[in-house]
Chains A and B, each alone.
Chain A
Amino acid sequence: MNSEALHYHFDVDGASFANAGRASVETKKLLRQIGVSPDVIRRISVAMYEGEINMVIHAHGGDADVYITEDTILITLKDVGPGIRNVEDAMKEGFSTAPENIRALGFGAGMGLPNMKRYSDDMHIDTKVGVGTSIELWYHLK
């Protein structure tokens, strides 16, 4: 991303499930103010929200960053959690390692990563067990 990109940073608090999703709600408001089209905003919102929740429930929180240029929006989600052992499995609808207490909170259907893929133009996952996970969600506006 070049230096003319608008950049917003959010600390995603891994200690509090109640805060999970805040960064995505804030981002949605920002994108509305900037005048991004509602379709694109919806796609970004859903994908980022899933990624943000994943950071909280699977990885003790992390950093969410939003970079906006005239023709591209990039969302990065970075954590130093446990990493994803098998990305191919994790990408399958219905695959989840979430324990019962997470399912009781309404998450753990194994739909998050597939949703992120569905609701982004490009998605890159960089993950290493014991090191962490970085996900890029790309949106091409033109």
Chain B
Amino acid sequence: MKISEVAEILNAVVLTGGDKLDYDIESACGSDMMSDVLAYVKDQGVLLTGLMNVQVIRTLLMMDMNCVVFVRGKIPAEGIVEFAEENGVVVLQTKLPMFEACGRLYAAGLGHACEEMAVADEQ
């Protein structure tokens, strides 16, 4: 799915990275805990989050992810969008809450970027 379709499905505003909307996204992950993202996310995912700090962008950079969606219409603090722009990360903002944003993308066929929490680990 292209980032432009993600934006359309979520009625999202593009805060930066408008030149990269034809990039392909294969999967998505919704989380406000960055270490969970770092533990489980696979390639080419988009991150949906309600967290609004620059570590969100650094986390994406560490994971080679190139798109973040800020949910619930929150406005990222100053500097975050600029930092994303400098580093080639697309930033989308949607008014939808996390659950609905994830649900819409899932229903539209986007796979999950987070590995299933291996129950086997517990054994």
Contact = CB atoms under 8 A, between A and B. Distances in A.
Given A106-B34, A118-B39, A53 B55 contact: yes
Given A20-B55, A106-B55, A106-B56, A49 B33 contact: no
A107 interface: yes
Interface string B30-43: 00111110110000
A123 interface: no
Nearest to B79: A18
Of B49, B61, B62, B79, the most chain A CB neighbours within 10 A belong to: B62
Nearest to A56: B55
B53 interface: yes
B59 interface: yes
A46 interface: yes
Interface residues of A, number: 28
Contacts of A17: 53, 55
Contacts, number: 74
Contacts of B39: 111, 114-115, 118
A109 B55 contact: no
Interface in B35-69: 35-36, 38-39, 49, 51, 53-56, 58-59, 61-64
Interface in B69-123: 79, 87, 121
A25 B38 contact: no
Contacts of A42: 62-64
B35 A21 contact: no
The 4 A-B pairs at the shortest CB distance, nearest first, are namely A111-B35, A21-B58, A109-B33, A45-B62
